[in-house]
Structure 1
């Protein structure tokens, strides 16, 4: 029998994270495009981000029809690296002048994100904005494909913190932090002890 799951955060009910999820307002709208494979992943950080941000939307699929209706009335940017990608600071300066920004955030591995852009030319054609280089993820459980790769929720928090100071969006990470701690616990004490022994606790 599968364990009953919370309908909101999709965690097993015994490990529901909803009490840790904030309800934050942002001027920037966040549109997350999630590859269906990611919905089954234990650390489904995109869902936690969508639950915590009032001005956000999570779409699940590979091909999105009528995608442009989701950014009507906004100035959309694709949060994804590219040769012509602007920095978040440049986007911030630009929006001091015109329109409400909307960030389209692909959620999935690099390979799946690229496939998503290939299948959705309107998304691929959006102007791109990239995260600052040198970020490191708090999340050591899933090997990052490249230095500077962070989870979807960390990417969104970094972007909003840069675009909307002095508002700080770090509380969005609270359920994510707890999720990681629980995953470490689930990995077992022996693995944890072995890692600690490597740090050399000598008296």
Structure 2
């Protein structure tokens, strides 16, 4: 018999994270486009980010037929948070839009799946592309980063909002994420974690 799951955070009821999820306001609107392969992932940090922000939306799919309407938010200036050629630092983009809130579009998936989202949705590829500062370290201790500076989706959203809305801080969004990681470490056992996930 399958374990009952929380309908809100999708975690097993005995590991529900809802009590730790804040509800933070932001001038920035966050649109997370999640590849379907991430939906059932045990560490679905995009959901945590969307639940913890009052001005955020999570959409799941590969092709988004209503993307034009999603991007045409009145009063917002849209950008895509994704590394690659022709990116500009997020701080620089924010400085150009001081009187206009940002619509931050965040693809969620493996690098390959995220690139596929861009390929299938040309409107995304046409957006100004922004990047976080170099040197950020992920707290995602149970998953090896594919490259230096790679962050989970919730970490990337928090880092971006801390830049866009400074001096406001959004680190409270990381509380359920930290609890999720601690739960994973506990489930695998400290010895396994030490052996497989700590740097040598």
Same fold by TM-score greater than 0.5? yes
Count of residue correspondences: 198
Residue 30 of structure 1 corresponds to which residue in structure 2?
30
User: Counterpart of 2:39 in 1: which secondary structure?
Assistant: helix
Residue 77 of structure 1 corresponds to which residue in structure 2?
79
How far residue 57 of structure 1 moved from its aligned partner, in angstroms, is: 0.2
Residue 107 of structure 2 corresponds to which residue in structure 1?
106
How far residue 82 of structure 1 moved from its aligned partner, in angstroms, is: 2.4
How far residue 86 of structure 1 moved from its aligned partner, in angstroms, is: 1.4
- The CA RMSD measured in Å over matched residues stands at 1.8
State the distance in 2 between where 1:190 and 1:107 align. 31
Residue 89 of structure 2 corresponds to which residue in structure 1?
87
State the distance in 1 between where 2:95 and 2:26 align. 17
Structure 1 length as normaliser, TM-score? 0.93
Give per-residue Cα distances to partners, 1:21-53, cap 9 Å, x unaligned.
000011000000000110111110000000000
State the distance in 1 between where 2:164 and 2:193 align. 37
Which is higher, the Rg of structure 1 or of structure 2? 1
Equivalent positions of 1:159-170 (< 5 A) are: 159-170=160-171
How far residue 189 of structure 1 moved from its aligned partner, in angstroms, is: 3.6
Residue 55 of structure 1 corresponds to which residue in structure 2?
55
Question: Are residue 65 (structure 1) and residue 65 (structure 2) matched?
Answer: yes
| Residues 142 and 193, structure 2, Cα contact 8 Å, conserved in 1 | no
User: Counterpart of 1:5 in 2: which secondary structure?
Assistant: coil
Structure 1 moving runs of 4+ over 3 Å: 192-199
State the distance in 2 between where 1:104 and 1:117 align. 11
| Residues 22 and 52, structure 2, Cα contact 8 Å, conserved in 1 | yes
